[in-house]
A = this chain, B = another copy of it.
């Protein structure tokens, strides 16, 4: 029992990452950032902790405490600031102090907006918004690291801390940037090892939804968001379920629960369903555009959205990104509240088997879009921006579950300690192997028993152990055991006596030949 009954445990929703997963994460991040870098994005990092007000609240899940954000009061007292950044004073002219609320970042986009706005905050020439003012500068950066979300209801396989890997362009209104973002996502996913055809980048435009609401006559934003939430259930509850929930409501046949309706007139509900169904099974960006054109071209927002998607299509086509990589899908919504134009997500089309035995499509691994309003909140100046985020842990899970090659992750060579008084010799053996670039450790455990050391080697996936006792030291040799080959042979030789006699996976070599022998085993040769 620990001190005063402390139980060693992780916080619920958090986890430790083992060496195989750590390595996979590392590899994915390296491959994807190399693609980001090649597109001219540069690595900027921001703190894990920010002022809560500077981040804002944009998470989809607003039912939870603090709207899904881990936040707390700064232990430090600081001045209260007014909107011009000046300290607020009380009637006695004393600076008013407070503990500001801090928040752990819930994504990497809100901190980017803070960083960008902070730099411009000092520039009166930009903030004053005269016709002669310079435009907000172009800024392109990538960033990766952990983000934190307090999701009250935690689905299996979901965590409250997870890694994101973002790239963003701030300062451009041109949807050429959005088209490029689709190329970046596609290139990055392929660089991490996803085969072409196993994933697709799906593009939509929030303005199409806006056009739909203009057409249907929904002006209220909350109502609009409710409608999108109902649309999102189309796959689950079908057209009649959607129709019912848009209008008078329905009884859920599974749970028997009453689902209230949104009270739309039946004509409006039909238009919504027609929009959802218009592109079902339609292949090719051109064809999707044609369907949407006939439905939304006469609404102001729909027109804008269609023009943006046409431009994106033309640029993608010009760069050779066809329907096998980037598709248009008017059902894509993306949860975050800050998107204003094109939105995109990348999904894996591969199927995975659940622990329950059920087989399902793996689903979304990246998301992004245009958020022209996020910086405005902080700067009072509209600054266009667009970007996307790879869910590193989701992608790692996908690769671990669908690619066998990744399993190979060897541990170091282990130098067995037979005689603790010879520690200096064992350390020199290890140093010699390391000098040849071979990861090697000495056994530092408590007892010099062979069995404990072999168990350790096994647990740590060691490919080779080096053994030297009085015998070997006297002859200036070492014994080298090939554990990989040993495992193979263990299946072939059933008789224990024969095994011990032959020791087929162990050789004794001159000390001078040690490095070469180990190297040859690691390269796949036999001992």
Q: Which residues in A have some Cβ–Cβ distance to B below 8 Å? A: 1-12, 14-19, 22-23, 26, 37-51, 53-54, 64-66, 70-76, 78, 81-85, 100, 102, 104, 113-115, 117-118, 121, 134-135, 137-138, 140-141, 146, 148, 150, 152, 161, 169, 171-174, 176-177, 179-180, 183, 314-315, 318-319, 377-380, 411-414, 420, 423-424, 427-428, 430-431, 434, 437-447, 452, 456, 460
5 smallest beta-carbon distances between A and B, as pairs: A40-B441, A5-B83, A72-B72, A8-B117, A318-B424
Cβ–Cβ contact B83 & A1, under 8 A? yes
Output the nearest chain B residue to A71 by Cβ-Cβ distance. Answer: B72
Q: Which of B18, B22, B76 contacts A12 (CB 8 A)?
A: B76
Contacts of A169 in B (CB 8 A): 444
Cβ–Cβ contact A39 & B439, under 8 A? yes
Please give the distance in Å from A70's CB to the nearest CB on chain B: 7
Q: Which of B18, B49, B66, B171 contacts A161 (CB 8 A)?
A: B49
Cβ–Cβ contact B10 & A22, under 8 A? no
Beyond the given pairs A7-B121, A14-B49, A176-B423, 20 more chain A to chain B contacts, judged by CB atoms under 8 angstroms and listed by A's residue number, are A1-B380, A2-B83, A2-B378, A3-B378, A8-B117, A8-B118, A9-B85, A9-B114, A14-B47, A16-B47, A17-B44, A22-B43, A39-B441, A40-B414, A48-B146, A49-B70, A70-B75, A134-B452, A315-B424, A319-B424
Cβ–Cβ contact B42 & A377, under 8 A? no
Output the nearest chain B residue to A127 by Cβ-Cβ distance. Answer: B1
Cβ–Cβ contact B42 & A6, under 8 A? no
Contacts of A37 in B (CB 8 A): 412, 439
Contacts of A9 in B (CB 8 A): 51, 54, 85, 114, 118, 121
Cβ–Cβ contact B16 & A456, under 8 A? no
Q: Which of B8, B12, B78, B460 contacts A42 (CB 8 A)?
A: B460
With A22-B43, A50-B11, A427-B318 known as contacts, the answer to whether A446 contacts B6 (CB < 8 A) is no
With A1-B83, A2-B377, A117-B2 known as contacts, the answer to whether A102 contacts B11 (CB < 8 A) is yes
With A1-B380, A40-B439, A150-B76 known as contacts, the answer to whether A6 contacts B318 (CB < 8 A) is no
Mostly, the A contact residues are mixed
Cβ–Cβ contact B43 & A23, under 8 A? yes
Contacts of A54 in B (CB 8 A): 6-9
Contacts of A377 in B (CB 8 A): 2-3, 6
A161 to B102, CA, bound (A): 14
Contacts of A66 in B (CB 8 A): 75
Cβ–Cβ contact B43 & A172, under 8 A? no
Contacts of A420 in B (CB 8 A): 174
Please give the distance in Å from A160's CB to the nearest CB on chain B: 8
Copies in the complex: 2
A47 to B148, CA, bound (A): 10
Output the nearest chain B residue to A45 by Cβ-Cβ distance. Answer: B17
Output the nearest chain B residue to A115 by Cβ-Cβ distance. Answer: B16
A48 to B104, CA, bound (A): 10
Cβ–Cβ contact A176 & B3, under 8 A? no
Contacts of A378 in B (CB 8 A): 2-3, 6-8
**Can you name 16 A-B residue pairings with CB atoms under 8 Å?**
A2-B377, A2-B379, A5-B83, A5-B84, A8-B117, A8-B378, A16-B44, A17-B46, A19-B141, A39-B434, A42-B412, A48-B48, A72-B72, A137-B445, A138-B456, A319-B424
Cβ–Cβ contact B428 & A319, under 8 A? yes
Please give the distance in Å from A21's CB to the nearest CB on chain B: 8
With A78-B12, A118-B9, A439-B39 known as contacts, the answer to whether A138 contacts B176 (CB < 8 A) is no
A66 to B75, CA, bound (A): 8
A146 to B23, CA, bound (A): 18
Contacts of A102 in B (CB 8 A): 11, 70
Q: Which of B10, B22, B50, B137 contacts A44 (CB 8 A)?
A: B22
Q: Which of B10, B39, B70, B440 contacts A50 (CB 8 A)?
A: B10
Cβ–Cβ contact B444 & A172, under 8 A? yes
A423 to B10, CA, bound (A): 51
A445 to B443, CA, bound (A): 59
A347 to B1, CA, bound (A): 39
Output the nearest chain B residue to A171 by Cβ-Cβ distance. Answer: B445
Cβ–Cβ contact B43 & A10, under 8 A? no
A8 to B112, CA, bound (A): 11
Cβ–Cβ contact A440 & B38, under 8 A? yes
Output the nearest chain B residue to A53 by Cβ-Cβ distance. Answer: B6
Please give the distance in Å from A106's CB to the nearest CB on chain B: 13
Cβ–Cβ contact B11 & A47, under 8 A? yes
A150 to B102, CA, bound (A): 13
With A8-B121, A50-B11, A434-B39 known as contacts, the answer to whether A423 contacts B2 (CB < 8 A) is no
Q: Which of B7, B64, B140 contacts A81 (CB 8 A)?
A: B7
A448 to B341, CA, bound (A): 23
Output the nearest chain B residue to A78 by Cβ-Cβ distance. Answer: B12
Please give the distance in Å from A224's CB to the nearest CB on chain B: 21
Please give the distance in Å from A352's CB to the nearest CB on chain B: 23
